Amino acid sequence: MATLTRLEAEARARLLTVERYLVDLDLTRGDTVFGSTTTIRFTAREAGDTFVEARPTSLRSATLDGQSLDPAELADGRLPLRGLTAGEHELTVVAEMPYSRTGEGMHRFTDPADGLTYLYSMCCMTDAPLVFAAFDQPDLKAVFEVAVTAPGEWTVLGNGRATREPDQPGRWRCAPTPPISTYLLAVAAGPYHSVRTEHAGLPFGLHARRSLAAELDRDAEELFDITRRCFDRYHEIFDEPYPFDSYDQAFVPEFNAGAMENPGLVTFRDTYVFRSAVTDTERETRGVVIAHEMAHMWFGDLVTLRWWDDVWLNESFAEYLGYQVLTEATDFQPWTEFAMVRKGWGYDADQRPSTHPVAPEPDAVPDTASAWLNFDGISYAKGASALRQLVAWLGQDTFLAGVNDHFARHRFGNATLADFIDSMARASGRPVPTWAEAWLRTSGPDTLTPRPVGAALGTEGGEDGWRLHLTHAGGRPHRLRLGAYDLDPTRPERVLPRAQYEVELVGGAAEATTEHVFPGGRPDLLVVNDGDLSYAKVRLDERSWATALRTLTSLPDPLSRTVVWNAARDMVRDGELAPFDYLEAARRHLPGEAAQVIVSEVLRFAGGPLAGRYLPDDRKAEALALIRRITEQLRAGAGGDQARLLTAVRAAIAATDTPDTLLEWWRAGAVPGGPELDQDLRWRMLHRLAALGATDRAEIAAEAARDTSATGEEGAARCRAALPDAAAKEEAWEAMFDPADRLSNYLFGATAEGFWQSEQRGLLAPYVARYFPAAAELAARRGHALALMVSQSGFPWPFVEAETLALGEKCLAGQAPSPALRRALGDQLDELRRALRVRSVN
């Protein structure tokens, strides 16, 4: 299909104003296509030519102002509209559209648990033409009126309140929307189980497939409570009230993203309806996603970016506000998770060759294909971190005044970076454009390296004060804190807080060292960016690192501890800290760590990238043994804390390299001391046993018969692909890369996750050379979502070798991979280069 360019979008926006879409969908035509009739009412400002996008299976007819257009002229997803005159026009397109199994367009899913079928649309960012004919760009907003014909027993949901047509079984009509962008249209249809309530005079709903009804009912009050609290908090901080007529949240199957901010009908991946035990962090993360998507009702839906170079105007704001509003409105404290998990995603993305500014120049996003690539850790985590710095600089009241000015000036319209910066400058009187140039138009993380000078507290010379030489590489201005801590003289395994110093770094130079003088003796532990208010890689001086190794758990604020853990993680990735030194810190401190997200993320990094990539193959077993010892300590000290037990057992399963213990648990149907061996843990355990050759197809089939859900189907696919058997590997390979594309997106991902196992290098070696051309062909055939999956879940990570790198570079150089695959595969190869460098110095 043709890719829309920025220049084409600008030309079409100059020519057209779009008033209204009438979209009529017929979902009763079988399991491969659905009917789509679209009438678009628009005005041409002057005479000219343009085109409308549609990607049908069959274009039945098209009429412009009552005159038939030739369906044969549809090419590359575009139907030309030639000879438009100035004035009003009406275009009607009648088509049959294809159902999707990749989570793009109109996704169709049949639940293996009960045979019931569910549909939902995903129009972001370029897939609206798979559902209806559209002038598909964000700055041609219009009113949408949607009607749907569905099987009589189905429920239909849309952006506006959906009601059944009287005396027409299966016929639904959605209330007209305010002006919204084409990528935000949403429809969900099927025999959904619904829980409804009302808040602030609006209907609120929760929806999931029937096989998740019990779990949705169990979680409904918590979900509604978070929704109500966040809704009320947004109304406290925003002058503009919620701009739509209802608030439905649908948990849908095989969803690629975490969620999508369709106004009035937010769609979430239905793994957020928890079937098995979860940790408090996972519940907190679900709350952040609810708050994030609600923020989009204003940032993205009410005021929408003009072009995709300003993705950050949607995602950075929703990311920041999701964490901040959940903190203010509930008992959750999610900034620790942001610091420990999300910022790592941002730092990693920002150090790759594919990095880009939070707000790239318009010329850097010339078309929609390149725009897809910026939905990453930079637009989310780094952008949110930049906004947190802006709030620290301006103050929250001034920041919110600028936000409200922005909403008032661009209500139901489109805006750019310049528009937002202008509103912030108007509200604050500060040089916000200068700040934005430094923070939003530059790439890469800054690095802050401290060198304290002076005697320690209580030693000779300490009364004269101490000096900090702080080297700042990167050049952004920062407002941050320095945390000074001293060893407790009565308990040397602890530190006591001495002071927090506010420091402002003016930035400007590529690298500069500033001197700061503080009273007293030099602290035993200095934490730069204490509280994690800024975005920068930080280092610990030698004395501070030695102190942290002894006392890390005693730092009173979990955000302080995350700064230290992230510094250690970055040092491992940069080859400055030996991986086993990181593991030793984990052994000392995780058993006493109170913040569950720190425990789980340190274990994830240790058992994943550290053991699997950064250590030589002959030392992996030693690392896994140490991780298992840590999990044993965690279990022994859990004291009935089920979340802690769950985290420890998950990590123990992943780190197991001999099957004996897992077989004991499996045969007993329980883990000694807990947690309960629920279905999630059973699939995790069986997957690991499969990789170790300690189970077989019959046992996998028996477990799939025990769990007939979609999750069970995915678990069985993952386990079968993990079996150390030549026939199983070839079967999994053929399923993934079959030209008939029989696997859905989730089943593809599960199979890919099972396929590459480090214990099976001899069996898998022939597939490494096959992987790269197969991935390129798959991405070209199946599109963006599968390109990401094959690059990430499908990458041959057991082979951290120069030969793998050479094969990947050859693929990028010679096979013309799709933009999505080029970016995602390029990122994986950059991580492979890093792993090879780290191995070379350890």
Laid out side by side, the sheet with 446-453 consists of 511-518, 466-473, 446-453, 536-538
Q: How many CB atoms lie within 10 A of CB 80?
A: 14
CA distance linking residue 376 with residue 373, whole number of Å: 7
Residue 141 CA: distances (Å) to CA of 108, 137, 264, 295: 27, 8, 16, 19
- Nearest alpha-carbon partner for 522 in 450, 449, 462: 462
Residues 6+ apart with CB under 8 A from 489: none
H-state helical runs in 395-431: 396-410, 417-428
Nearest to 449 by CA among 474, 477, 479: 474
Backbone φ/ψ region at 58: left (φ over 0), alpha (ψ -120 to 50), beta = beta
Rounded to an integer, what distance in angstroms lies between the CA atom of residue 548 and that of residue 366?
47
Residues serving a catalytic function are 293
Q: Nearest to residue 503, comparing CAs of 486, 517, 521?
A: 517
The residues that bridge with 512 in the sheet, in sequence order, are 472
Q: Give bridge partners of residue 61 from the DSSP assignment.
A: 94
DSSP state letter for 818: -
Contact 289, 225 (CB under 8 A): no
In angstroms, how far is the first alpha carbon of the chain from the final one? Answer: 48
Q: Coil, strand or helix: which one is 454?
A: coil
Distances (CA, A) of 611 to 58, 343, 618, 798: 51, 21, 10, 11
Alpha-carbon distance of 258 to 267, in angstroms, equals 9
d(CA 286, CA 280): 10
Both tokens of residue 827? 């990122």
- C-alpha–C-alpha distance, residues 351 and 215, integer Å: 41
